[in-house]
């Protein structure tokens, strides 16, 4: 297979849906090693920790474990952390910088808005953080024009970047931005890292943004660097968060005269499913031509169902999969219900519960909770970087220790005036002088606590997990955590998740002293603490958004709401991203292995109102040869009048325009 053996020079592997993308990359790595490449010079970059983990596992299966361990398989962000932990000083940051995740960033933005905004000005922290993030992913690290400082958002942006620097902190976007910056501006640094990696591989290349492309370009050495990217332009669905399909469409511009290999054999779906997918995606302009085929046989036609409203749609889908399950005995895990927006899952959930069918909702945003875990991280971060005000503010009153809001506000003011951080302000004699004896005592105790544990944590031969446990205990955090719970069970659960974390810290076989703890915290900061929720692990039918479904596959798939305004989403018309919506449907269709059902409604309830709906314009693009029109009324096994059946059939024909 050429995709595996062409190891020299730039290679572009166009890997269509279900063509064995990950398998190809891992086989390449194994092939490289078998042919004498030094494993330590191989770098494979992915987007998610999950993908990196899977790849690492598969490499370990193919080559001996000592060699596998030398290969660098990493996400873009953790690769950047690695670069920055070594070389960020060139940019004027200290090496012990703290990494802020999105919620840390939002809380900093919130603070700044209250500090900067006039009485009548309003700005949502969430929206502002989003704006800043978008800008940074375009490579912009400050508001562009002079006016920008005058708008609230611009002022917050400028202030935010300055604050991060003062706090010796970087956010997720900075990781990319600063890593690229240091490689761009310091040739010695660039040469060092480029020399390390002789073979570069990038997964899901269609999802890269400008910064990520630049990172790869700067790491790639020589006229014909060994850069192999794998991706599928037809599955580019993250444009809205900065991904540039252009990167894959114009690969030759960045890496001239590449070997281009198209993987077109699909190992997943039936011919009808692939045929349908092909007929749809053909309507996209500007794509790398490819035609997927499979040897899996024709299979069933794709069923297109028109439901009267979203409630009936849900009842139908759930009823249909229930029936199928009873008839064939396949397991619940083989089913997935896909939808454009999270809100759509509700009706499905209700219908599932009514029938007692087990299900799991993937995604959503349940990862902002786990308050106690974030608190523990804040405690530990503070030991590594006392200048980290966001962490300090998070824990200064957990537990309440007599340092009230007023005192904190004063300390903040003092720290701003002195151009320093909160920790320094709290330790400052002049600041203390202005306080009551009681407050002074409370602050003194708090600062002493931090200093004492900083010394203990980084003492030679310190047992990090044990020191951390004592820290959380003696600070009163654990007791406060338990106290704040409503039930003893909840208290146990939360305390246990803290101890799990500490146990993990104990097991973490890192270096002694600061580095070991920092590696551990870096890992925690970069991995969202959402539980492992792979479709295999849970029980039940998978309910999932179209976006989150990318990369997964299921024997039986239902795609809901193929209606104008929902898929394509109404926003996409104004944004000019209809192509991306089409790719989204393409991704959805290609998730199915055996049986696929598409549905749409004539009426949908939104914000309490019944809205008339039109079928998605995408339906007209589908090749009818692969479709079967399901008579909704009949399928529901309700006594339907012939008239109703006829009219619904006529409507469907009308919709499809043939």
Kindly report the backbone phi and psi dihedral angles of residue 160, in degrees, each rounded to the nearest multiple of 5, phi listed first. -60, -45
DSSP-assigned beta bridge partners for residue 260: 12
- Indicate whether 363 belongs to the interface with DNA (CB under 7 A): yes
To DNA, the closest distance from the beta carbon of 561 in angstroms equals 12
Least Cα distance to 11 among 318, 337, 230, 244 occurs for 230
Is the Cβ–Cβ distance between 32 and 277 less than 8 Å? Answer: no
- Indicate whether 576 belongs to the interface with DNA (CB under 7 A): no
Radius of gyration of the chain (CA): 28
Among 509, 607, 639, 641, binds DNA (CB under 7 A): 607
Is the Cβ–Cβ distance between 551 and 388 less than 8 Å? Answer: no
- Indicate whether 78 belongs to the interface with DNA (CB under 7 A): yes
Q: How many residues bind DNA (CB under 7 A)?
A: 37
User: Which three-class secondary structure state does DSSP give residue 595?
Assistant: strand
> In terms of C-beta distances under 8 Å and separation of at least 24 residues, what long-range contacts does 243-248 make, across chains too?
243/206, 243/207, 243/208, 243/209, 244/208, 244/209, 244/210, 244/213, 245/206, 245/286, 247/205, 247/206, 247/208, 247/209, 247/210, 247/213, 248/12, 248/205, 248/206, 248/208, 248/288
Distance CA 639, CA 123 (A): 55
Whether 257 is catalytic is no
Among 206, 294, 577, 602, binds DNA (CB under 7 A): 577
Burial tier of 23 (Cβ tally within 10 Å: 0-12, 13-18, 19+): middle
- Indicate whether 38 belongs to the interface with DNA (CB under 7 A): no
To DNA, the closest distance from the beta carbon of 477 in angstroms equals 15
- Indicate whether 54 belongs to the interface with DNA (CB under 7 A): no
To DNA, the closest distance from the beta carbon of 296 in angstroms equals 28
Cβ contacts of residue 343 below 8 Å, gap of 6+? none
Q: How big is the chain, counted in residues?
A: 658
Whether 579 is catalytic is no
To DNA, the closest distance from the beta carbon of 549 in angstroms equals 8
**For the packed helices 488-507 and 513-526, what is the interaxial angle rounded to 10 degrees?**
130
To DNA, the closest distance from the beta carbon of 112 in angstroms equals 14
Return the number of the residue (24 or 525) whose C-beta is nearest DNA. 525
Whether 136 is catalytic is no
Handedness of CA 248, 250, 255, 259 (dihedral sign): positive
Provide the token pair at 475.
Answer: 């600070």
Return the number of the residue (88 or 467) whose C-beta is nearest DNA. 88
- Indicate whether 608 belongs to the interface with DNA (CB under 7 A): yes
Catalytic residue among 591, 593, 604, 613: 591
Distance CA 388, CA 381 (A): 8
Catalytic residue among 204, 372, 388, 581: 204
To DNA, the closest distance from the beta carbon of 574 in angstroms equals 8
- Indicate whether 283 belongs to the interface with DNA (CB under 7 A): no
Distance CA 275, CA 53 (A): 33
Whether 529 is catalytic is no
Query: Any idea what DSSP says for residue 149?
Result: G
- Indicate whether 343 belongs to the interface with DNA (CB under 7 A): yes
Whether 203 is catalytic is yes
Find the part of the chain contacting DNA (CB under 7 A) among 7-15, 138-146, 442-450, 522-530.
522-530
- Indicate whether 293 belongs to the interface with DNA (CB under 7 A): no
Is the Cβ–Cβ distance between 275 and 625 less than 8 Å? Answer: yes
To DNA, the closest distance from the beta carbon of 171 in angstroms equals 8
DSSP string, 23-79: HHHHHHHHHHHHTT--GGGEEEEESSHHHHHHHHHHHHHHS-HHHHHHSEEEEHHHH
Whether 28 is catalytic is no
Per-residue contact string for residues 134-173; x = within reach of DNA by CB under 7 A: --------------------------------------xx
- Indicate whether 48 belongs to the interface with DNA (CB under 7 A): yes
- Indicate whether 77 belongs to the interface with DNA (CB under 7 A): yes
Catalytic residue among 87, 171, 174, 203: 203
**Strand 199-202 with 169-171, pairing:** unpaired
Least Cα distance to 317 among 325, 563, 615 occurs for 325
Contact positions with DNA (CB under 7 A) in 364-423 = 364-365, 367, 400
To DNA, the closest distance from the beta carbon of 78 in angstroms equals 6
To DNA, the closest distance from the beta carbon of 240 in angstroms equals 4
Provide the token pair at 107.
Answer: 């809380």
To DNA, the closest distance from the beta carbon of 530 in angstroms equals 7
Is the Cβ–Cβ distance between 547 and 584 less than 8 Å? Answer: yes
Find the part of the chain contacting DNA (CB under 7 A) among 147-155, 270-278, 350-358, 359-367.
359-367
Among 82, 217, 569, 651, binds DNA (CB under 7 A): 569
Among 572, 597, 616, 648, binds DNA (CB under 7 A): 572
Q: Could you tell me where the DSSP H helices lie in 508-552? A: 513-526
Among 7, 22, 41, 49, binds DNA (CB under 7 A): 49
Find the part of the chain contacting DNA (CB under 7 A) among 13-21, 151-159, 363-371, 493-501.
363-371
Distance CA 46, CA 208 (A): 10
Among 67, 87, 101, 232, binds DNA (CB under 7 A): 101
Contact positions with DNA (CB under 7 A) in 179-208 = none
Return the number of the residue (356 or 607) whose C-beta is nearest DNA. 607
Q: Cite the active site residues.
A: 21-22, 203-204, 235, 591
Interaction site with DNA (CB under 7 A): 47-50, 75, 77-78, 101-102, 130, 172-173, 240-241, 340-343, 363-365, 367, 400, 526-528, 545, 547-548, 569, 571-572, 575, 577, 581, 607-608
């Amino acid at each position: 297979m050429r995709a595996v053996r062409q190891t020299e020079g730039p290679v572009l592997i166009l890997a269509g849906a279900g063509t064995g993308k990950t398998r190809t990359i891992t086989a390449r790595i194994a092939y490289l090693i078998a042919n004498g490449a030094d494993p330590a010079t191989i770098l494979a970059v992915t987007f998610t920790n999950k993908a990196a983990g899977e790849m690492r596992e598969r490499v370990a299966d193919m080559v001996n474990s000592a060699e596998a361990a030398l290969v660098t398989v990493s996400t873009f962000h953790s690769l950047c952390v690695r670069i920055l932990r070594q070389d960020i000083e060139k940019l004027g940051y200290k090496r012990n910088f703290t990494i802020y995740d999105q919620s840390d960033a939002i809380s900093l933005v919130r603070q700044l808005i209250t500090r900067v905004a006039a009485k009548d000005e309003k700005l949502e922290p969430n929206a502002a953080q989003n704006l800043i993030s978008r800008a940074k992913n375009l490579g912009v690290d400050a508001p562009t024009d002079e006016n920008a400082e005058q708008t609230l958002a611009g002022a917050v942006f400028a202030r935010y970047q300055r604050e991060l620097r003062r706090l010796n902190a970087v956010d997720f976007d900075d990781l990319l931005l600063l890593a690229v910056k240091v490689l761009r501006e310091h040739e010695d640094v660039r040469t060092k890292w480029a020399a390390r990696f002789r073979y570069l591989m990038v997964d899901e290349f269609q999802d890269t943004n400008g910064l990520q492309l630049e990172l790869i370009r700067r790491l790639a050495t020589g006229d014909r660097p060994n850069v192999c990217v794998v991706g599928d332009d037809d599955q580019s669905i993250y444009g809205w968060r900065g991904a540039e399909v252009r990167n894959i469409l114009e690969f030759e511009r960045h890496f001239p005269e590449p070997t281009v290999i198209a993987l077109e054999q699909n190992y997943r779906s039936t011919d009808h499913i692939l045929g349908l997918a092909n007929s749809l995606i053909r309507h996209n302009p500007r794509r790398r031509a490819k035609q997927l085929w499979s040897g899996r046989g024709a299979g069933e036609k794709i069923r297109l169902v028109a439901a009267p409203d979203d409630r009936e749609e849900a009842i139908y889908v759930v009823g249909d999969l229930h029936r199928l399950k009873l008839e064939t005995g396949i397991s619940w895990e083989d089913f997935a219900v896909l939808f454009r927006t999270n809100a759509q899952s509700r009706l499905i959930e209700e219908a599932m519960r009514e029938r007692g069918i087990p299900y799991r909702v993937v995604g959503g945003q349940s990862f902002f909770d786990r308050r106690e875990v974030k608190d523990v991280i804040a405690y530990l971060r503070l030991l590594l970087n006392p200048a980290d005000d966001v962490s300090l503010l998070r824990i200064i009153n957990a537990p309440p220790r007599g340092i009230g809001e007023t005192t904190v506000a004063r300390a903040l003011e003092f720290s701003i005036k002195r151009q320093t951080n909160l920790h320094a302000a709290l330790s400052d004699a002049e600041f203390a002088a202005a306080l009551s004896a009681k407050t002074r005592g409370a602050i003194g105790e708090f600062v002493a606590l931090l200093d004492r544990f900083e010394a203990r944590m980084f003492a030679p031969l310190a047992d990090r997990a044990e020191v951390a446990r004592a820290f959380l205990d003696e600070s009163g955090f654990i007791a406060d955590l338990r106290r704040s719970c409503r039930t003893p069970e909840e208290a146990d659960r939360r305390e246990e998740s803290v101890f799990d974390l500490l146990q993990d810290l104990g097991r973490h076989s890192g270096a002694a002293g600061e580095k070991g703890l920092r590696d551990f915290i870096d890992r925690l900061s970069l991995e969202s603490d959402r539980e492992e929720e792979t479709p295999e692990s849970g029980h039940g039918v998978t309910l999932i958004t179209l976006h989150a479904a990318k990369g997964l596959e299921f024997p039986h798939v239902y795609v809901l709401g193929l209606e104008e305004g929902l898929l394509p989403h109404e926003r996409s018309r104004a944004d000019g991203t209809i192509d991306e919506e089409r790719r989204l449907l393409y991704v959805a269709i290609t998730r199915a292995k055996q049986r696929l059902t598409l549905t749409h409604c004539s009426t949908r309830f939104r914000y309490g109102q019944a809205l008339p709906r039109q079928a998605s314009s995408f339906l007209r693009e589908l090749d009818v040869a692969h479709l079967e029109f399901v008579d909704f009324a009949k399928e529901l096994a309700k006594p339907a009048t012939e008239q109703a059946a006829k009219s619904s059939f006529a409507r469907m024909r009308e919709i499809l325009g043939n």
